[in-house]
Amino acid sequence: MDVGFVGLGTMGRGMVRQLLAAGHRVTVWNRSPEPVRELVAEGAEAADGPAGVWRCRAVVSMLADDAAVESVLLDEKALASAAAALHVNMATVSPALARRAAELHARHGVAYVAAPVLGRGEVAAAGNLAILAAGPADALDRAAPLFEAMGRRTWRLGDRPEIANTAKICANFVLVSAVEAVAEATALGEASGLAAEDLLSVLTGTVFPGPVYEGYGAMIAERRYEPAGFRLDLGFKDVGLALDTAAAARVPMPLAGVLRDALLEGVAHGRGGQDLAALGETSRRRAALPREDAGAPGEGGAPDPDPRT
């Protein structure tokens, strides 16, 4: 398939490589040029701007948030002249944006599918993403070859795109809750004389096996937060989306408020660009446990880079 791809962060680059490996022709665009050059060297083609990807048969986007999608892709002029008949938005955005996007695309004859994913950068690179997809049935059928290239399984969640985004927001809320629980338990263990590695062995060897507790737990125990597979500031964004969605549906989520504040504390202390596992340092700081070396980011570092590049 002739595919235009927008958004070449860690996730997007891995996804493009899987599309290329599956034999798709991929035209790429990104605000920063280096990822474009990197992928062109591997067989992709470079678009001459965001409008260039709309000349492809299908468009796939993997941008950071609502604002990035609004500014780059929700363009009346570009959609009016688009040759593409399908747009698959794989970013974690709000249900409200998904509804607006679907309506805008429909006015211009372009099918809109929401297909956010579960998995970190290394999962995307291996083509093992879990894809949560919703949109018109025929559009989901057309997108199926793309999903097969990028993921290990696709959940089809109906014809309303916003439902896929709601599912992803709920999943990320549970994920962040688990990481915060491990961070707090690890701080309690260390303050009481229990080595973090020993606690992790107990947890993952008994009631909490699996990639979330094993993967994030090891990062917290080792205080290893870079490179970031899932940035803390994006976790903050996603929990904010959960709270916004809950408010619109009149669903109380008291734990989400606590998580938002923990994530905001991490961002305020310069850790937004680090992995979500850096919640461990927030718990350590609250418990007055020893800090990292002075050279590490912490108490008021430089601003984080723009997550949308």
In a domain, 267, yes or no: yes
Q: Are residues 134 and 17 in the same domain?
A: yes
Q: Are residues 130 and 267 in the same domain?
A: no
In a domain, 241, yes or no: yes
The token duo for 273 is: 């660009």
| CA 41/CA 69 separation, integer angstroms | 26
Provide the CATH number for the domain around residue 54.
3.40.50.720
With contact defined as beta carbons under 8 Å apart, do 58 and 52 qualify?
no
- Could you give the number of structural domains in the chain? 2
Last residue of a domain, one of 128, 159, 190: 159
Q: Which of 24, 168, 237, 260 is catalytic?
A: 168
In a domain, 120, yes or no: yes
Q: Are residues 63 and 100 in the same domain?
A: yes
Provide the CATH number for the domain around residue 180.
1.10.1040.10
In a domain, 271, yes or no: yes
In a domain, 292, yes or no: no
Domain of 33, in residue numbers: 2-159
Cα separations in angstroms, 148 against 22, 23, 66, 144 = 9, 12, 26, 6
Sign of CA dihedral 155, 160, 163, 164: positive
Q: Are residues 149 and 25 in the same domain?
A: yes
Residue type present at position 220: I
Last residue of a domain, one of 159, 175, 191: 159
The token duo for 271 is: 């850790």
Q: Are residues 153 and 6 in the same domain?
A: yes
Q: Are residues 226 and 269 in the same domain?
A: yes
Cα separations in angstroms, 257 against 87, 91, 199, 253 = 33, 23, 27, 7
Q: Are residues 129 and 261 in the same domain?
A: no
Print pLDDT tens along the chain (309 aa): 999 999 999 999 999 999 999 999 999 999 999 999 999 999 999 999 888 999 999 999 999 999 999 999 998 888 999 999 999 999 999 999 999 999 999 999 999 999 999 999 999 999 999 999 999 999 999 999 999 999 999 999 999 999 999 999 999 999 999 999 999 999 999 999 999 999 999 999 999 999 899 999 999 999 999 999 999 999 999 999 999 999 999 999 999 999 999 999 999 999 999 999 999 999 999 999 987 643 344 444 434 443 333
Q: Are residues 59 and 136 in the same domain?
A: yes
Q: Are residues 211 and 71 in the same domain?
A: no
In a domain, 25, yes or no: yes
Write down the pTM of the prediction. 0.89
Position 309 scores a pLDDT of 35
Q: Are residues 109 and 241 in the same domain?
A: no
Last residue of a domain, one of 126, 159, 192: 159
In a domain, 71, yes or no: yes
The token duo for 27 is: 């035209």
Q: Are residues 195 and 136 in the same domain?
A: no
Whether 168 is catalytic: yes
Question: Pairing relation of β-strands 151-156 and 58-61?
Answer: unpaired
CB neighbour list of residue 105: distance below 8 Å, 6 or more residues apart: 79, 87, 111, 112
| CA 189/CA 279 separation, integer angstroms | 15
In a domain, 59, yes or no: yes
With contact defined as beta carbons under 8 Å apart, do 102 and 75 qualify?
no
Q: Are residues 246 and 230 in the same domain?
A: yes
Q: What is the pLDDT of residues 264-276, one digit of tens each?
A: 999 999 999 999 9
